[in-house]
Amino acid sequence: MNNYLSRKMIIYLLNEIGLDESSIELGLKLSIKNKTTLPIFLWSYGMLTIEELDKLYSFLFQKMD
């Protein structure tokens, strides 16, 4: 994922999903450490619901077009 999409994803998580910056920072650090994607990490640790995960992926796929 390029930096443009990464920034857009973080802005989406903050503004649309309502995650705290600290949650996103922790998710970023641990997803890198565990070699997993940020959305899957956030979902697997209960920071995102399955519906929010679906909305996030829909948003990301729209931005990739």
Domain that holds residue 21: 5-61
* Mean pLDDT of all residues in 12-18: 96
Residue among 2, 4, 17 at smallest CA distance from 58: 17
Rounded to two decimals, the pTM is 0.85
- The answer for 35, left when phi > 0, alpha when psi is -120 to 50, beta otherwise, is left
Of 6 and 21, which is predicted with more confidence? 21
For the segment 46-64, what is each residue's pLDDT rounded down to a tens digit?
A: 999 999 999 999 999 887 7
Q: How far apart are CA 40 and CA 54, in angstroms?
A: 11
On whether the CB atoms of residues 6 and 59 are closer than 8 A, the answer is: no
Contact partners, residue 7, CB within 8 Å, separation at least 6: none
Number of domains present in the structure of the chain: 1
Residue 1 scores a pLDDT above 60: no
Joined together, the tokens standing for residue 43 give 């979902």
